[in-house]
Structure 1
Amino acid sequence: MTHVHGLHHLDPEEGGARRRFRTPRVIRLRSMDAVLTPGQEKPPTSPPCAGIVRPARRPPGWVAPGPRPVTPPDRPELWPASGEDLCYLAGDFRILQRVDGHRWSADDLVTAWFAAELTAHAPPRLTVDLGCGIGTVLLCTAWRFPDARCVGVEAQELSAGLAKRSVAWNGLESRCTVRHGDMRDPANLEGIGAPDLVTGTPPYLPPGTGIESSRVQCGPCRFEHRGGVEVYFEAAARLLAPEGVFVGCSAARQRDRVHQGAEAAGLEMVTWMDAIPREGKTALFSVYAARRPGSGLAFEEKPPLVIRGADHRFTASFNGIRRAMGIPVI
């Protein structure tokens, strides 16, 4: 799971005030929680816990789309511990995060949406999220495709543990699993099957090219300690079903490297879309898709996604993505 540097933190209110950080910045989204409307299910009641359960902030009358989480009772370990919080993600699905660690952001959201849009015509039966981190893309994919079996692979023990607990909190253990292991070891991919959809948001900074955060989880999420995009392409190529698709996210400046990585792994690029943080700026990150050769699909360059307009408010295009992924827009 990757955070892309250089973006402003997003206030939970649409078009809200920006706050600047001294550390590298990311676009980070926080879902808005809601007032219950007639007929809407009451969310699970939090037992006493040492962490933070974030309240929902949603417009009156808004009902979360998609599947509902079914939190197992009598499992207090699924609720946030000290230094953790439980936040809304897609619809009523929630995610556990470290308050001082790696947190979900816009590149995760756009990657999950891009993957879902590319496969909506033939919903995947099996998905794999490589380097799933705390499980953002994994959970978003499980939300968009409630009949799919979803697998995450993550090398960091702390992140894998959070992802496993989030899967359990949302009641997804019957169809979603998280494997703690390094994707470079083929043994960690054995027995998964041939997925119709593979996703991944690789780290994008070679070690030594920047100052690594001292925050737990953050360094390996941004720096290529276990390899970069090439490793993800290699793992995807080992797994993909014949008609499957790999959807990834990288820094926009890495375009040549992404194409080279796909070719070296025996895959061919079929789609590319740049993401621009604000109108008038250059592209910061990109999402793309690759398939096995012989798909017959011509390469398609999609129009760039502009996240904020010149007025610093979310654009209609980005708000459309938020709606498609179960996030309310005010």
Structure 2
Amino acid sequence: MTFTCRMDPKSVRRYVPEQVSLSDDAPGWLGDDTHCVKGPICWKCKGQKLLRSHEICTVCQGQGRVSPKRADVEGARLDGKITRGRKSSTSWEPIGPTPYALTAELQNEWTQMIRTVSRVKIDVSIDMTEQAEAGENLPLWIPKPGEELCNLVGSWRILQRVGSHRWTTDDLCTAYYALQTAIDSGLNRKQEALRYLDLGTGNGSVLQMTYWALCTNSIQISEAVGVEARSEAVALGRRSLSFNIDSRTQNVRIHHGDFRSVELGQLPFDLITGTPPYFRVDFEIASHENSEEVSAIINQGGMPTSKQSAPARCEFRGGIEAYCEAASKFLTPTKGRFVVCENWLNDKRVAEGAKAASLSIIKRLDVIGRTGKDTLFSVYVMAKEDRLVTNSIEIERLEVRGYDGDWTSTYKRRILNSMNIPYL
């Protein structure tokens, strides 16, 4: 009698396979144990529970997985919240488009609540009882348990999960530089309104900030599209849009799909933005008779214990190289511009990714978190290589905070003032 030992063939891939990309927001985040509730595979011991020294891993305490932070778990149980208006000097006034939810035709108890929150600077909680009583009359943008309706730019707001992915300085600088790029490259002087695309749009922060900035500066937009693979992020982004814009008159939408294979029609886009995740992840694929198990193994930094934050920080569906390839595919070959943010440690990858995608880097904004520190991240401007030949890159520097920890005057003037964010 012959016995055959059948082992599962395994392979390691750089990104989540496209065929499973939309089946889960973070495929492989839990490894092959879908019933585990303790979080992702430990980034230090790689799930082995022991270190090379045969000592118990100090990060996961020998569990092989990293438990979610208490604040994240408790945050998901909190009532929905509308956050207070930003503190500001008496001279600050919101500019730009009025949120659709606050227009005269939609006056109701919910919009009055927003006005009160902004005026008296207090948070307001929305409990489950209030939501149940409102029933079908509840606006889509009202935060559900574990969510907050937060300030964005001007008087616009955005829905975000407590303890999950939130918009950051990276997003703000990318949106600002996209506006400046549109102006500097003459996209605002085109006879036709420009078409704008945001790759990996997440909760829609960059998409909405850039759209707000273009509209505020009287730049005509025929269409603005965000592409996102994570279903929860798509839902949050669409609900935020319902607060900020009138879908009947403004052609802004978030498409649920993987930008590596998505089809968005025949017309190219004049302006494209992207804020790729910064940290590398490899994926171990174990093939069985009728299925594949995907396990994510972090290679840089630590895997976030929030499932919704993980793909925003780690390269589940592609890093800068994938973003460059997609941008090259969708970008207008004449005056089209791709504005993308990346961790400064990955600068070499940006150059290689751009070259492989036939893009040229023509401008760069180096952002320093605090005076005296090294560059934290950079925002790059790229164009199609076959229409633009350049031997030099225009480089700018921007320090966010000074030695005293306060915003620098340059950051206030260039970023906060341009994006209508108040400061004391």
TM over 0.5: yes
Q: Which amino acid aligns with 1:222?
A: R
Q: CA deviation at 1:296?
A: 4.7
Q: For residues 189 and 307 of structure 1, what CA distance do their matches in structure 2 show? A: 38
Q: 2:99 corresponds to which residue?
A: 69
Q: 2:275 corresponds to which residue?
A: 201
Q: Partner of 1:303: helix, strand, or coil?
A: strand
Tell me, yes or no, if structure 1 residue 179 matches structure 2 residue 272: no
C-alpha contact 1:259 1:269 (8 A) present in aligned 2: yes
Q: 1:310 corresponds to which residue?
A: 403
Q: Partner of 2:375: helix, strand, or coil?
A: coil
Aligned residues: 281
Q: 1:236 corresponds to which residue?
A: 327
C-alpha contact 2:399 2:408 (8 A) present in aligned 1: yes
Q: CA deviation at 1:256?
A: 1.1
Q: 2:421 corresponds to which residue?
A: 327
Q: Partner of 1:55: helix, strand, or coil?
A: coil
C-alpha contact 1:275 1:305 (8 A) present in aligned 2: yes
- Percentage of identical aligned residues: 38
Q: 1:221 corresponds to which residue?
A: 312
C-alpha contact 1:184 1:231 (8 A) present in aligned 2: yes
Q: For residues 389 and 354 of structure 2, what CA distance do their matches in structure 1 show? A: 16
Q: 2:384 corresponds to which residue?
A: 292
Q: CA deviation at 1:206?
A: 0.8
Deviations 1:169-191 (A, max 9, x none): 11242321000111111xx2322
Deviations 1:42-97 (A, max 9, x none): xxxxxxx9410011123224211111111184452221111000111110111000
Q: 1:125 corresponds to which residue?
A: 194
Tell me, yes or no, if structure 1 residue 157 matches structure 2 residue 186: no
Length-normalised TM-score, structure 2:
0.64
Q: 1:7 corresponds to which residue?
A: none
C-alpha contact 2:368 2:397 (8 A) present in aligned 1: yes
Q: Which moved more, 1:307-316 or 1:121-130?
A: 121-130
Q: CA deviation at 1:304?
A: 1.4
Q: CA deviation at 1:267?
A: 0.9
Q: For residues 266 and 91 of structure 2, what CA distance do their matches in structure 1 show? A: 41
Q: Which moved more, 1:76-85 or 1:207-216?
A: 207-216
Structure 1: unaligned runs, 5 residues or longer: 1-22, 24-48
Deviations 1:156-177 (A, max 9, x none): 1111111111111112423210
C-alpha contact 1:276 1:283 (8 A) present in aligned 2: yes
C-alpha contact 1:86 1:97 (8 A) present in aligned 2: yes
C-alpha contact 2:187 2:194 (8 A) present in aligned 1: no
Moved over 6 A (4+): none
- For residues 130 and 142 of structure 1, do their structure 2 counterparts lie closer, same or farther at Cα, with a shift above 3 Å needed? same
Deviations 1:130-175 (A, max 9, x none): 0001111100111012232211000111111111111111124232
Q: For residues 289 and 69 of structure 1, what CA distance do their matches in structure 2 show? A: 29
C-alpha contact 1:102 1:216 (8 A) present in aligned 2: no
Length-normalised TM-score, structure 1:
0.81
Higher-Rg structure is 2
Tell me, yes or no, if structure 1 residue 137 matches structure 2 residue 206: yes
Q: For residues 136 and 182 of structure 1, what CA distance do their matches in structure 2 show? A: 18
Q: Which has the higher contact order (CA 8 A, sep 6+)?
A: 2
Q: Partner of 2:241: helix, strand, or coil?
A: helix
Structure 2: unaligned runs, 5 residues or longer: 1-65, 67-77, 107-136, 282-297
Q: 1:10 corresponds to which residue?
A: none
Deviations 1:183-210 (A, max 9, x none): 111xx23227311100000011111223
C-alpha contact 2:269 2:330 (8 A) present in aligned 1: yes
C-alpha contact 1:323 1:329 (8 A) present in aligned 2: no
Q: CA deviation at 1:252?
A: 0.5
Q: CA deviation at 1:329?
A: 2.4
Q: 1:60 corresponds to which residue?
A: 90
Superposition CA RMSD, Å = 1.9
Q: Partner of 1:299: helix, strand, or coil?
A: coil
Q: Which amino acid aligns with 2:207?
A: L
Q: CA deviation at 1:254?
A: 1.0
Q: 2:263 corresponds to which residue?
A: 189
- For residues 172 and 268 of structure 1, do their structure 2 counterparts lie closer, same or farther at Cα, with a shift above 3 Å needed? farther
Q: Partner of 1:250: helix, strand, or coil?
A: strand
Q: CA deviation at 1:221?
A: 0.8
Describe how 1:90-109 pairs up with structure 2 within 5 A. 90-109=153-172
Q: For residues 324 and 227 of structure 2, what CA distance do their matches in structure 1 show? A: 14
